[in-house]
Amino acid sequence: MNTNTIKRATILVTGRKTQIMEAVTAELEASSFEVLQAIDNSATETHIMKSDFNLLFIGGGIDPTSRMEFQRLISIYKPNVKVVEVSFGLSSSITELVEKSLGI
């Protein structure tokens, strides 16, 4: 990756499948986004409370109760952060979905 690239935004990506997480991360980084990853609830909750990011991308494999808890924590700790939830296949690219959600 070109270290001179200006980062557009920071995205927290959470999901349960490592291979899919790596693919999502690679696509977002190729589009100059900085990516934080969380593979379990504890890591996701810690990032929500302590890390700086612009969008939470909730991928597949996250149960409904965890999704609701992440939304609740976002509303408390990061009320200006956008949230994108994906459960199944996308009709557009991940980058397009993120850009649309961020308004860029």
pLDDT (0 to 100) of residue 82: 96
Provide φ and ψ at 52, rounded to 5°.
-95, 125
Tokens 């992440």 map to which residue? 70
Does 4 fall in a domain? no
Question: Which spans in 31-63 are helix H?
Answer: 41-50
- How many structural domains comprise the chain? 1
Does 1 fall in a domain? no
Give the structural domain span for 58.
Answer: 10-102
For the chain, percent of residues with pLDDT exceeding 90: 67
16-58 per-position pLDDT tens digit: 988 888 989 999 999 999 999 999 999 999 999 999 999 999 9
Does 5 fall in a domain? no
Quick one: 4 exposed, middle or buried, by C-beta within 10 A (0-12, 13-18, 19+)?
exposed
Does 42 fall in a domain? yes
pTM score, two decimals? 0.88
Does 96 fall in a domain? yes
Does 61 fall in a domain? yes
CATH classification at residue 87: 3.40.50.2300
